[in-house]
């Protein structure tokens, strides 16, 4: 699984073009991975409800920070593709969320009582939420680009 995530992150180091579906795939997949990681690690915790709240707050905060501003990309309305510059950020995010899942798995295998520790539970949930917010926030900047582009075949005069 790490090799797949790593390859996905490495593929984004170089400039490329991608469709809306393609730029949406990673945030959706990483959100599912994050929710799965949170649920699988913390579902038996008495603080699971708090964990869900921490996850949501962290996701919203990261989204608010990273979803603002302009994307460092261009949208071609004729071809309906994004021109994306290469970036190390997706690789770091993918490896980061994988490492959180791995470390939490090792932690809980070695010390299952950690699911009783409120600070641990909230920290894990917030980490997963922050990664989700980061992925979705970065994608949201791209999702707004087509809204500012004229439909295919329409020329703006100005």
pLDDT attached to residue 147? 82
Lowest-confidence segment of 45-49, 50-54, 92-96 by average pLDDT: 92-96
Q: What is the pTM of this model?
A: 0.84
Distances (CA, A) of 106 to 11, 35, 55, 103: 28, 18, 20, 5
Supply the pLDDT for residue 157: 42
pLDDT of residue 158: 41
- pLDDT tens, 21-45? 999 998 998 899 899 999 999 999 9
- Read off the pLDDT of residues 78-133 as tens digits, 9 standing for 90 and up: 999 999 999 898 889 988 988 999 999 999 999 999 999 999 999 999 999 999 99
């Amino acid at each position: 699984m790490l090799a797949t995530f790593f390859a996905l992150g490495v593929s984004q180091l170089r400039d490329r073009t991608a469709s809306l579906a393609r730029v949406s795939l990673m945030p959706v997949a990483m959100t599912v991975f994050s929710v799965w990681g949170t649920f699988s690690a913390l579902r038996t915790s008495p603080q699971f409800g708090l964990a869900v709240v921490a996850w949501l707050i962290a996701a919203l905060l990261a989204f608010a920070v990273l979803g603002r501003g302009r994307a460092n990309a261009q949208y071609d309305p004729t071809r309906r593709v994004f021109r994306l510059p290469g970036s190390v950020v997706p690789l770091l995010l993918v490896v980061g969320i994988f490492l959180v899942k791995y470390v939490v798995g090792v932690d809980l295998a070695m010390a299952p009582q950690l699911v009783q520790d409120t600070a641990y539970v909230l920290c894990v949930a917030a980490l997963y939420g922050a990664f989700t917010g980061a992925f979705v926030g970065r994608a949201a900047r791209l999702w707004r680009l087509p809204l500012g582009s004229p439909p295919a075949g329409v020329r703006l005069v100005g």
